[in-house]
Structure 1
Amino acid sequence: MKLFVSDYDGTLHIDGTVDQETLDAIDVFRAQGNLFGIATGRSLSSIKNQIEIYQIPVDFIISENGAIAVDGNDKQVYFHKMPFTRVQEIIADFPKDELLYYGVSDGVVVGVHDEFNNRTSTDTTIVDIDDVMMHEKLVGLYAKLDTHANAVQFTQFINHKYEGETCAFTWFQYVVILNCGVSKHSGIDEYRKAKNLDLKPYVIGDSFNDIPMVKGFDGFAICSGREEVKEWATMCFDNVGKALKYVMSQD
C-alpha cells in the first residue's frame, strides 16, 4: 500500500480546473489499494465543495493547514482548537489602518468580518463572523492587509508576541495564524498515527504552506509552483496525475 497526499490550490487544481489525466490517475492509484488524500489551507466545507464539483475521489482530507482532518467516511480524526481568549486578543491586535478584512475558522466554515466590503470572492462556504465566533471552537484566523510588507510586519509581531503558542505565516497580503506546531506535515503525521499507517507518504505542493510537508517527507513540487517549494522538492511534475504515475511505477 502507498500513501499520496496532494495540496489543492495550484497543485491538484491548476488553471481553474482539475485535469482529467489527474482524475484518471487517482482512480487507478486507489484501485490498486493505495490511499489518496488532500491537505489544504481551505476549510472543510470549502474543499468538500470543490471535491463535489470535480468529483475527486479521496480517502481523507486534512484542512486548515493541518488543524483538522476527516477520513473517507467524514469522521473527524483530530481537531486542534485555539484558546478562544487568544483568538479575541489577536483580533484586538489587528492593525486597523492596514486591515482590509479578517476571518476566523472552526475548521468546517470560515466566518469573515468585512466592514468595508473589500472581499471580491463569492464563495458560499464563507459566513458571517458572528455565526462562527458564537461557538468559541476555533482552529485559527487569517487577515488580509493592504500590502505584502505590512502583512510580513504583522506576521513578525504575532510570532514575537505569542512565541511558542501561536504561529503566523505570510501568503502574499494574507497573514494565517494557527497554533504552533500545526502544519500540513504535522497533520499528515497525526493522521498516519491515528489510522496506524506505517507508510512514508508521497506528497506534492506548490506554495509556502506546502514547504513543511515537502521538506519533511522529501516530497514533490508542481513545476509551475513557487521556487521556494521547488528548492526542497526531489522532483517536479506538471500535474498530480504525472506524479501519481511515477509513484505507481516504483517498487
Structure 2
Amino acid sequence: MIKAVFFDIDGTLVSFKTHVVPQSTIHALDLLRKRGIKVFIATGRHLSSINNLGNLEFDGYVTLNGGYVLAGKNDVVYKHSIPDKDIESLVHYQEKEGSFPCAFVMENEIFMNYTDKAVKDVFRLLNFPSPPIRPVADVYGNTVYQLIAFFTAEQEKRIMSILSHCESTRWNPLFTDIVPVGSNKGIGIDKMLEHFRINLDECMAFGDGGNDIAMLKHAGMGVAMGNAAEDVMKSADYVTTSVDDNGIYNALKHFNII
C-alpha cells in the first residue's frame, strides 16, 4: 500500500513548455491528500528557488538532490554539505586555471560568480530566479550544500577531479548539479521516510532527469515521465505519459492509487 509519493519538479510536476503544473496533476495531488497519502517534493532546487508550484501544499521537501531535507518547510530533518577543502579547490581553480559560471548554494542564500548566455538560457527554461552576482571568494566561511556548475560534459572530468569528495548529477548538457558524495534523492527519501515512519516499499517516486535515477531505482515504485531521457526510463519500474499529457494522473490511476 502506497503511503507516500515523491515528485521531482522541473519536467515532472511542472511543464517545460508552460512553466506551470497541469490541472490533471493538481487534481491528482488533491486526491492523494484526501486518501491520506503524504506528498513530498524531491528536487535539485533550494527551497527558496521553488517558485513554480503556486499554492500547492506538500508534507515535506527533499531539496538540493537529497542534501537538505525538511519536514514541512521549517523542520530540518537532514543536511549534508560539501567539504570546505573541495570549495577551496574550486575557488583556486576558478582564480588560477579557468573560470566558469557557478552558483554556490548555501543554507539560506545562493549567489553566482557571473552569468553568460548558457546561464540565462537555462534559467529561462526553468523559470529559475537569478541569484545575485558576487566574487567567488565570498564563499569562504560559508557552508555549501550544492554547486550549480555551468561546464560541458567534456570539461567535467578535469573539473570534477579537483572535487574529490563530490559527484556530478548532470541532467542538462549545459550544466550539472554538484553534490557531496553520498547525497542523492534516494538518500533524501530515506531520511524523510524515517522521519515519518514509512517503509521504503510504501513509497512511489516520479522523475524525468538524470538526477532522478537514484531515486527511481531506490523507491518502492519508480515512475519515469514520458518526456524523460532513455536512461531515466530504463531506471524506472514504469514509464507514464509526459508531463504535458497527464503523466502523473495517468500513472496514479494505472496503479489504482487514486
The TM-score range, normalised by the shorter chain, is 0.7 to 0.9
Aligned to 1:195: 196
> Contact 2:89–2:162 (CA<8 Å) still a contact in 1?
no
How far is the alpha carbon of 1:13 from its aligned partner? 0.5
Which of 225, 245, 254 lines up with 1:246 in the alignment?
254
Alignment of 1:139 onto 2:141: no
1:12 is aligned with what amino acid? Answer: L
How far is the alpha carbon of 1:35 from its aligned partner? 0.5
Identity rate, percent: 24
3-state SS, counterpart of residue 249 of structure 2: helix
Aligned to 2:224: 221
How far is the alpha carbon of 1:75 from its aligned partner? 1.4
What does 1:49-198 align with in structure 2 at a 5 Å threshold? 49-51=51-53, 54-94=54-94, 99-114=99-114, 119-120=119-120, 121=123, 123-124=128-129, 126-129=131-134, 133=139, 136-145=142-151, 151-163=152-164, 165-170=165-170, 171-198=172-199
> Contact 2:4–2:38 (CA<8 Å) still a contact in 1?
yes
Q: Which moved more, 1:110-119 or 1:55-64?
A: 110-119
1:140 is aligned with what amino acid? Answer: Q
Q: Deviations over 1:1-60 (max 9, x none)?
A: 61100111001111222111110110110111111111011111011x223xx2222111
How far is the alpha carbon of 1:213 from its aligned partner? 0.9
How far is the alpha carbon of 1:101 from its aligned partner? 1.1
How far is the alpha carbon of 1:125 from its aligned partner? 6.0
How many Å separate the matches in 1 of 2:257 and 2:78? 31
Aligned to 1:20: 23
3-state SS, counterpart of residue 78 of structure 2: strand
2:10 is aligned with what amino acid? Answer: D
RMSD over aligned CA atoms reads 2.7
How far is the alpha carbon of 1:77 from its aligned partner? 1.2
Q: Which moved more, 1:182-191 or 1:195-204?
A: 195-204
1:128 is aligned with what amino acid? Answer: I
How many Å separate the matches in 2 of 1:216 and 1:138? 26
How many Å separate the matches in 1 of 2:41 and 2:186? 12
Distance 1:100 1:246, change over 3 A: same
Count of aligned pairs: 241
1:223 is aligned with what amino acid? Answer: G
Q: Which runs of 5+ in 2 are unaligned?
A: 242-246
Aligned to 1:148: none
How many Å separate the matches in 2 of 1:221 and 1:185? 15
Alignment of 1:7 onto 2:13: no
TM norm structure 1: 0.84
> Contact 1:37–1:61 (CA<8 Å) still a contact in 2?
yes
